[in-house]
Amino acid sequence: MNLLRATKRKFRQNAMTWRYLLNGKSALSHLFGGAVLSAEGKRVLEDLNRHGIAVTSSDSLFGGNGVYGELCAAIAQLEREQDWKIEAARAEASDTNGTGEKKFIHFLLGDKPPVDSESVFARFALQEQVLNIANAYMGLYSQLRYFNVWHTLANTGPARQSQLWHRDRDDFLTCKIFLYLNDVDEGAGPFTYAKGTHPKGNNHQEPPFTMEGTVKRSDDNQMATVAPQDNWVKATGRRGTIIFADTRGYHKGGEARTSDRIMYTCMFVSPASEVREMMDTRGRVKLPANRAAALALARYA
């Protein structure tokens, strides 16, 4: 078993073996799948391939698509229903003691959201405009492994956990999408990314770091030794801003100081990913008619 795990780990470190050995069926199916990207989708994909991050907006990507409006309404309802929970969490947002949980974030869908293909939270992620970009970036039919709504609470605690620079370890390539549900300026802790530090990029240097549990974390000064601040994308934006990012590259976010940040997020990985389960998988889901969307949820069927 240890030898098998070591072999898989080695394969995951190489793009060709990861794609065509560990994910061969999914990659070959996608190669002949024929998905078409819009003009904005092509621009997003180009930036994502080159920099590891691409920023767009709901208007630019979806136009008059009704799912975005439906999602906004659903989140606004959750905010009203959970107002007392949010305020209770705010009282502990600066607390750095405890078990390592992100006390500066209130998760509106809970710790493990239920997998429901008919919920607007799943349907937003499975829109062709989103899913086609994720699949094209990864070069295979990817799987939806997470979605939630994060309400980041403004606080005065020191930068910690995901507020410090780090890489995600979910897969060789990972595509995450972040949608701002309110205006996010520098005081609201915008998502920040070091361009070119993703696996497809040209900067694979590791900065100095400290260990936070089993995760390597770096502060701004440490990160600047391998990626100058001129190469950082600080993704401030208006409500409706959408960020695509390969979080295998160095990133941070959520250091909210003057105002809260409300953000929907979802994550796509390959079928071979060994990421821990982050969704409530009790019960089976109804698969969508769209082939790519059905494949994205196939593990839950």
Predicted confidence at residue 283, as pLDDT, reads 79
| Unique residue bearing structure tokens 């098998």 | 4
Contact 193, 53 (CB under 8 A): yes
Q: What is the pLDDT of residue 195?
A: 98
Q: 221-277, pLDDT tens digit by residue? A: 999 999 999 999 999 999 999 999 999 999 999 999 999 999 999 999 999 998 999
What was the pLDDT predicted at 94?
Answer: 84
Residue whose tokens read 């078990």? 99
Q: What is the DSSP string of the chain?
A: -HHHHHHHHHHHTSHHHIIIIISHHHHHHHHTT-----HHHHHHHHHHHHHSEEEEEHHHHHTT-HHHHHHHHHHHHHHHHTHHHHHHHHTTTT---SSS--TTEEETT-SS-B--TTSHHHHHHTSHHHHHHHHHHHTS--EEEEEEEEEEPP--SPP-GGGSBB---S-SS-EEEEEESS-B-TTB--EEEETT-STTSS--PPPP-EEETTEEEB-HHHHHTTS-GGGEEEE-B-TTEEEEE-TTS-EE---BSSS-EEEEEEEEE-TT--PPP-SB--SPPPPPSSHHHHHHTGGG-
- Spatial distance between the Cα atoms of 86 and 102, rounded to a whole number of angstroms: 14
How many other CB atoms are there within 10 angstroms of residue 228's CB atom? 10
Paired residues of 281 in beta bridges: none
pLDDT at 230: 96
Q: Which residue has the higher pLDDT, 13 or 299?
A: 299
How large is the average pLDDT for residues 146-171? 95
Model confidence at 7: pLDDT above 80: no
pLDDT at 96: 72
The per-residue pLDDT of the chain, averaged, comes to: 93
Whether the predicted pLDDT of 23 surpasses 70? yes
In the CATH hierarchy, which top-level class contains the domain 37-300? mainly beta
Rounded average pLDDT over 62-79? 93
Summarize the confidence of residues 279-286 as an average pLDDT: 88
Domain boundaries, the chain: 37-300
Distances (CA, A) of 49 to 66, 117, 133: 28, 28, 10
Mean pLDDT, residues 179-190: 98
The predicted-structure confidence for 133-150, as pLDDT tens digits, reads as follows: 999 999 999 999 999 999
Percent of the chain with pLDDT over 70: 95
Instruction: Tell me what percent of the residues of the chain surpass a pLDDT of 90.
Output: 83
Mean pLDDT of 111-124: 95
Neighbours of 74 (CB within 10 A): 17
CB neighbourhood size of 281 (10 A)? 13
Q: What is the pLDDT of residue 65?
A: 75
Residue 133 identity:
I
d(CA 40, CA 12): 31
Position 64 pLDDT exceeds 90: no
Q: Give yes or no for residue 6 having a pLDDT over 70.
A: no
Question: For residue 11, what pLDDT band results from cuts at 50, 70 and 90?
Answer: low
Q: Which residues neighbour 17 within 8 Å (Cβ) at sequence distance 6 or greater?
A: 10, 11
Token look-up 């065509």 returns 20
Q: What is the DSSP string of 72-110?
A: HHHHHHHHHHTHHHHHHHHTTTT---SSS--TTEEETT-
Confidence of residue 5 (pLDDT cuts 50, 70, 90): low
